[in-house]
Amino acid sequence: ACKPYNTGIILFKKSANNDVLFRKWREMYEKKVASQNLAEWDGSLGRFEGDQPVFLEAWLQSDSKICTLSNAWNARSPLFFNWNEPIKIIHGRHKDFEAIKNEMNREWGSEKVVKTRFWLPGKNMSMLFDRRTGTIFGDPCRYMGE
C-alpha cells in the first residue's frame, strides 16, 4: 500500500511527463468529485475523499518521478515530527508564523551535539535530542500559547 502524498505544495520540472500527470490528476479528481454527493458533505474528511489519493493514482499511472523532500521543506506543525536542518516551509495555521519559525529554528547553545529536533504541536514548541549522549534540551514547561 502507498501512503498518499501531501499535495499542498508541489515543486516540479516542466516536462511532458508532468503535463500528463497533472492533466490526468485533474481529470480523475473531477470525475471523483462528480461521483460524490457534495450536498450531503458535512465538511469532515471522513465522508469526502480529497485530491491526495487521486494524485497518487494518477502518479502511479504516469512516467513522472517523485522526490520527497525532508520535513524542513514541509514542517507540518499540527503534527509531531522531527527534523535536522532549519525549517523552510511551515505547513499549518498559526497567528504568528514568524514566532513559530523562530521557535523551530532557535539556537540551542554552542554545544557540539548530534541533534534531532522534535516539534510538540500541542505546545507549539520544539525540543532537541542529542543522539550521541541521549540528552534532551528544551523546557517542556515552556509554552508559546496560541
Q: Mean pLDDT score of the chain, rounded to an integer?
A: 75
Q: Provide the residue type at 43 as one letter.
A: G
Domain shared by 86 and 130, yes or no:
yes
pLDDT digits (tens, 9 = 90+) for 41-96: 666 655 566 788 899 999 999 999 998 877 677 777 776 667 777 778 777 777 88
Domain shared by 87 and 117, yes or no:
yes
pLDDT confidence tier of residue 21, bands split at 50, 70 and 90: very high
Of 50, 68, 86, the position where a domain reaches its end is: 68
Whose cell is 523562530? That residue is: 102
> Which positions ≥6 away from 126 have C-beta within 8 Å?
103, 104, 106, 117, 118, 119, 120, 138
77 found inside a domain: yes
Residue 144 has pLDDT above 50, yes or no: no
Strands (E), the chain: 75-76, 81-83, 90-91, 115-120, 125-130, 136-137
Q: Provide the residue type at 114 as one letter.
A: V
Domain shared by 56 and 4, yes or no:
yes
Domain shared by 29 and 44, yes or no:
yes
Which phi-psi region, left, alpha or beta, contains residue 111 (left: φ > 0; alpha: ψ -120 to 50)? beta
Q: Which residues pair with 118 in a beta bridge?
A: 82, 127
Domain shared by 2 and 48, yes or no:
yes
pLDDT of residue 141: 45
pLDDT of residue 24: 96
Residue 4: give the domain boundaries: 1-68
Q: How many domains does the chain have?
A: 2
Domain shared by 94 and 50, yes or no:
no
